[in-house]
Structure formats: C-alpha cells, structure tokens
A and B are shown apart, each in its own frame.
Chain A
Amino acid sequence: MKTAALPERHPIYERLFMRVSFAWVVLISTPPTLNVRSLPAPNGFARIVDLTFLTDASWLTACHAMLLIALAFYIMRVLLWVALPVALFVNVSVNAVINSQGAIHHAVQIVSLVLLVQTAACYYELWLRRRDPPATGALEERQISWSQQTIAAAYFVAGLTKLIETHGAWIFRARFIGVQIFKTAYQAYYDHLDAAGLEQQLAIAQFAASHGTLVALIAGMGLILELLAPLMLLGRWWGLVLGCSFVAFHLSISSVMQLSFIFHQLLVLIYIVSPIYWIVWIMRGIRRVTSR
C-alpha cells in the first residue's frame, strides 16, 4: 500500500533529542501532587470518565509511576502502542482534574495534543503494517511531522479565534490591552505579595492605556505571526525563523503580561526550531572551513 511521502528525514541524534526533550515536557506538565479535594466542575476528559480517584494521593502517585515507566519506554521506543496511550491517559487525566476546579487554563493543552497525535501516528502505523512492512524510522518521522503540524495548527487556530471572537475587530480592541496588563501585574503581585517589578508593569499598563494605537499595532504583529504559523512547516529555515519569532513573541508577552506559555515555547524549540540540528550544522560548517 502506498502512503503519502514523508518529509525530510531527521538524523538519529535529533530524533533522540526530540524524544528525551518531549518526555521531559510531558513529565513536567503532569504534576505529581494536586491541591484538590474534589472535582466541583468536571471539564474535558473528566466529563466522560469519573476521575475523582485522582484526588487520592496514592492513586496519583501510582499514575505518576506509570507515567515515568511509559516515558522511559517512549524514549527507548519499546512497546510504544502501550507506552503512548498510558502517557496520554495520565497526562490528560491529571490536567483534567486541575481544569475541573472551576478554573480552566490551556497552558498544557498543546502537550496533550502532541501526545495525542503521536499516539494516533503509532496506531496508524500498526494499521499500515497489516499490508506492508513500513520503512525503518517511518513511524518516528510521521510522529515528528504530525507533531509539527499540531503545533502550527494550535497557533493558527489561536489567531483565527481572535478574529472570529471579535468579528475581525481584535486589533481595534487591542487598544484596551492596558487594562489586562494592569490586572496581570496585580495578580502576579498577589501571588507572593512580591512587589518586584510591579511599579514597572503598572507604568507599562498606563502607557498602553494612553497609547492605544501604538499598542494595537504591536499586538497586530503577534496576530499576523499566529496566522503565518503554517509556514513553519515549509522547511528548516522557515521553522528556524518563525520558531524563533514565536519564542521571542512569547518572551515579550511574558515580560509584560506574565503569560509565559512555557510549554508552547518548549515544543516550538523541540519540534520546530530544533537547536541541536543547527548546532551540528554550524559545527560541521566550521570543521569544513578549518579543514580546507
């Protein structure tokens, strides 16, 4: 059976880097302890499956141990058809419990999505194997490709949502961003009652409130970047330029609005920018030049 050609192959060191890094991201995005007693507002997966058992510390510890084993198998690429669903179940379940407290956030959503498409790619491969034995490394290439597409889609959808939600007036409404900066500055202060940086944040908020047009233009650049996200899939150079732009975009928002979206940044670095590839590329270039 013929299947769609997979894009450029990734060298073994890069694939290993991606596996280890992604396993680490899954681990840090799945808390081993929770400050919850119940699920007062079941959300997402918790609306389908009763996850109350995860409020019991012993069950949570057992699930975390299962996750560690599954991720070790994932790194070694052993029994992926078991390891990936287990990792997905634990990651989604624990985060569904967190999101079932009445406070929903989507900071981890991208990690669960990438885990989901990697699981889907694994089962797709099993289905393909019924006819023809797949080429060596085809599954991992498919997992990388689907992960990259998922990351690009997450950004594109975020941009599209802004336009749909505001009927195209997002940039116009962005002149009120100062109110949100003011709010997030105080929210960050009340987290620890740490006033470091508060005055500066409030000054930025007041500046943004009084210079709405300028702020709207800057915010508009972020929106355009999100809508350009699919271009990251065109090749390594596109991935490098747009991936670094996204990380810079996140860092600037993080410094002003305390919204770090750290998992988005990490996944862009792992699957889109892939710094290990460029480090090796530069080192090889230097070696070629010096050996002449």
Chain B
Amino acid sequence: MYSSFAKNSYYIYLSDNTGQPLATTRFGLTTPGLKKIFESKRRAEFKGKTGPIDADSVAGAALLRYLEELPVVQQQSPGLLHGLQVQRVNLLWKSGRIEADSKSIARHP
C-alpha cells in the first residue's frame, strides 16, 4: 500500500494524433511505469534550474524520445510515433468528490 496519501495526484497516458488513447502495453510498458519515467524526467528538469520552466512539456518531450528508442517500438511501424501525444490527467479530492482535468503536454513531430 502507499506510504502516504495526498489530496491530489495525476496519471499519464498516450494518445494518437487525434487524441484517441493508445494502449500503453503497445510500447512494452505499463501506465504506472510510464508515469514514473515521466516523473523522473520531470525531476531531472527541475534539478539545478532556476526561474520558471514548463517542466511538463520538457519532461513529456523527453518521455517521447525515450519511447522512440524502445526495442518494442522500433519493431513496429514508424507511424505509431507520428503525432503521438502525452496526456496528463490531474486529479483533485474536493469536498468528498474527485475531479479530473486533462491536457496534452507533448506531441511527437
């Protein structure tokens, strides 16, 4: 079980260029694993930086670069990556209800 709980959390998923979700297992990963990789890229982005940065976009782009290199992805058609988007869904506990808000944070060229 989790060592701590918070009012807010988020998850990451992948979608195609039209915004339709793609199964994370097509990339040889799990969705929680995808989020952890994104989170480590995001932390790396903050390290040693000062001033405002759009960490989500930079980490999202780094995640897409990571996905490009995966053997499972390279065995599939290159079209899989075209317009691939990283979607972030923010969750918030508000007076006994959970609210979700999603946005696209990075797109593969």
Known: A37-B71, A191-B23. A103 touches B37 (CB 8 A): yes
Q: Is residue A186 within 8 Å, beta carbon to beta carbon, of the partner chain? A: yes
Q: Which residue of A lies closest to B3 (CB)?
A: A165
- Give chain B residues whose Cβ lies under 8 Å from the Cβ of A176: 5-7, 93
- Give chain B residues whose Cβ lies under 8 Å from the Cβ of A40: 66
Q: Which of B4, B24, B96, B100 contacts A162 (CB 8 A)?
A: B4
- Asked whether, in the complex, the Cβ of A219 is within 8 Å of the Cβ of B37, the reply is no
- Asked whether, in the complex, the Cβ of A35 is within 8 Å of the Cβ of B70, the reply is yes
Q: How far is the CA of A212 from the CA of B94 in the complex (A)?
A: 12
CB proximity of B80 to chain A, nearest CB, Å: 14
- Asked whether, in the complex, the Cβ of B30 is within 8 Å of the Cβ of A191, the reply is yes
- Asked whether, in the complex, the Cβ of A179 is within 8 Å of the Cβ of B7, the reply is yes
Q: Mark A96-107, 1 if CB is under 8 A from B, else 0.
A: 000001111100
Q: Which of B1, B6, B89, B92 contacts A219 (CB 8 A)?
A: B1
Q: Is residue A244 within 8 Å, beta carbon to beta carbon, of the partner chain? A: no
The interface of chain A, by Cβ under 8 A from chain B, is 35-38, 40-41, 101-105, 158, 161-162, 165-166, 170, 173-180, 182-184, 186-188, 190-193, 205-206, 209-210, 212, 219, 222, 253, 257, 259
- Asked whether, in the complex, the Cβ of A209 is within 8 Å of the Cβ of B23, the reply is no
Interface size class on chain B is 35 or more
Q: How far is the CA of A233 from the CA of B90 in the complex (A)?
A: 43
**Pairs A-B, 10 closest by C-beta atoms:** A103-B36, A102-B40, A35-B28, A187-B31, A210-B96, A102-B37, A190-B13, A176-B5, A103-B33, A190-B31
Q: Mark B68-95, 1 if CB is under 8 A from A, else 0.
A: 0111100000000000000001011100
Q: Is residue B35 within 8 Å, beta carbon to beta carbon, of the partner chain? A: yes
CB proximity of B31 to chain A, nearest CB, Å: 4
- Asked whether, in the complex, the Cβ of A165 is within 8 Å of the Cβ of B4, the reply is yes
- Give chain B residues whose Cβ lies under 8 Å from the Cβ of A212: 96
Known: A102-B41, A182-B91, A182-B98. A192 touches B4 (CB 8 A): no
Q: How far is the CA of A188 from the CA of B23 in the complex (A)?
A: 10
- Asked whether, in the complex, the Cβ of B3 is within 8 Å of the Cβ of A38, the reply is no
- Asked whether, in the complex, the Cβ of B5 is within 8 Å of the Cβ of A177, the reply is yes
CB proximity of B66 to chain A, nearest CB, Å: 7
